[in-house]
Amino acid sequence: MGTYFSRDDLSRLRALREVLIGIEDRPEGTDAPRYWSDARDLELYDRVFAARIGWKWDAVLDEVHRRAGLGAPRTVLDWAAGTGVATRAVLGRLGEAPERVVLVDRDEKARDHAASSVREAFPGVEVECAAEAPEEEFDLCLASHVLDELDDRGLAALHGAFRRAARVLWVEPGSKITARRLSKSRDALLERFEVVAPCTHREACGMLAPERGRDWCHHFAEPPAFVHTTGEWGEIGRELGIDLRSLPYSFLALAARPSEHDPALVRRLGRPRSQRGRTLVDVCDAAGVREEQLLQRDDKDLFKRLKKTFWAAPLLRREESGRLAEER
Ligand SMILES: C[S@@+](CC[C@H](N)C(=O)[O-])C[C@H]1O[C@@H](n2cnc3c(N)ncnc32)[C@H](O)[C@@H]1O
């Protein structure tokens, strides 16, 4: 029995985590399991796993805001909404609420949870639910933590929904298998979209180059400070064996409207590696993925931040001198 979660809740959370982690590398050709047994599973998922996913969405939305903004979508589709965390994160950032939100999930209990959580947080918004995406155009299509559950048909349906949208935001775990799958989808969607982020170019994904087979495009979000100080999150970390300091994710922000890429922008990927007087960083631009260095003497503050965190300075700028500097 925990202080914040009952023994039954902790076993449900452990079982859910095991299922969710196992989906990524299940044997080829087998269907992903259906794991929502009842409303309590969804409540617990929302309190723990979706909260962490929400912090990844915050990082993505920060970057999208810095790069091109979200526009002012009137219609939003959340494909495989689960408990609705992606929609809530996005609606929380919009100046004006959309007119209509459609929450798609193959599970009815998930749809019910998502709809009530979105209605509660945004009472003025018209919320609809569906088991499959309607064949309509949406201003913004969201997807989050679903890629590994899809077979070829499911992936084609998701791509279809994206292709009918003007913008796409898609967040997935930062693990190697999933992030590399996401890179493949990115390349497949290039004929319809420009990439707003994380890429600073529209060439083929550099991570899929034959010599990069061991790497994957991933990033780290900053967890809120309270995960290190509150008893509830302490219990979650301890009981579920989650490293609360680490929030790896992969993502794609796409827009159908052509946007110019600034050739001087370079995306930093993965974990920075601090050494004496320099930080080694993996970076990506139109020329592909490679390792570069940032010198301590060029920017002492950035050197310190990269030593302490994985998430500082996701975007860098190549200056005329050839040096890489933080893009603010
Ligand atoms: C891990 S949950 C993620 C939910 C939510 N997007 C999030 O980020 O928390 C994946 C969800 O995808 C739904 N799902 C899986 N395959 C689907 C499909 N082919 N069509 C619609 N929903 C699907 C599941 O029912 C589940 O609710």
- Residue 226 DSSP class: G
Regions of the chain with pLDDT less than 70? 258-259
Last residue of a domain, one of 224, 255, 286: 255
Nearest 5°: phi and psi at 301? -65, -45
Return the residue matching tokens 């050839």.
322
Ligand 1: which residue has its CA nearest to atom 18?
A: 106
Residue environment code for 182-205, b if the CB has 16+ CB neighbours within 10 A, otherwise e: bbebbeebbeebbbbbbbbbeeeb
Residue 23 has a pLDDT of: 96
Domain assignment present for 188:
yes
Query: Is 164 found in the same domain as 122?
Result: yes
CATH code of the domain covering residue 105: 3.40.50.150
pLDDT on residue 258: 65
- Closest C-alpha to 282, from 274, 297, 271: 271
In a domain, 1, yes or no: no
Do 249 and 271 have their domain in common?
no
Contact partners, residue 128, CB within 8 Å, separation at least 6: 100, 101, 102, 103
Task: Say whether both 165 and 293 belong to one domain.
Answer: no
Counted domains in the chain: 2
What is the token pair recorded at 186?
Answer: 């990115």
Residues 212 and 290 in one domain: no
| The pLDDT of residue 28 | 86
Which residues have any ligand 1 atom within 6 Å of their CB? 20, 50, 53, 80-83, 85-86, 104-107, 110, 144-146, 149-150, 154
Q: What's the gap in Å between 307 CA and the centre of ligand 1?
A: 36
Strands (E), the chain: 75-79, 100-104, 126-130, 138-144, 165-173, 194-197, 219-220, 248-255, 265-275, 278-285, 288-295, 315-318, 324-326
In a domain, 2, yes or no: no
pLDDT at 2: 81
Of 203, 230, 255, which residue sits at a domain end?
A: 255
Task: Render pLDDT for 251-273 as a digit per residue (tens, 0 to 9).
Answer: 999 999 766 789 999 999 999 99
Query: 276 with 250, same domain?
Result: no
Q: Same domain for 251 and 269?
A: no
Residue 260 covered by a domain: no
Q: Are residues 143 and 85 in the same domain?
A: yes
Task: Supply the residue whose CA is at minimum distance from atom 14 of ligand 1.
Answer: 80
Residues 321, 225 share a domain: no
* Residue nearest ligand 1's atom 8 by CA: 144
Question: Are 192 and 159 in contact, with CB atoms under 8 Å apart?
Answer: no
For residues 37 and 86, membership in a common domain is answered with yes
What span, in angstroms and rounded, lies between the C-alpha atoms of 303 and 301?
Answer: 5
Choose which residue among 105, 129, 247 to substitute to test ligand 1 binding: the one with the highest number of ligand atoms within 8 A of its C-beta. Answer: 105
Looking at 255, 278, 297, which one is the last position of a domain? Answer: 255
For a pocket test of ligand 1, which of 18, 79, 146, 247 has the largest count of ligand atoms closer than 8 A to its C-beta? 146
Domain residues for 310? 265-326
Closest ligand 1 atom, CA of 143? Answer: 6
What would the two tokens of residue 189 be?
């969607």
Q: Whose CA is nearest to atom 26 of ligand 1?
A: 82
Instruction: Report CA(42)–ligand 1 centroid distance (Å).
Output: 12
Nearest CA to ligand 1 atom 5: 82
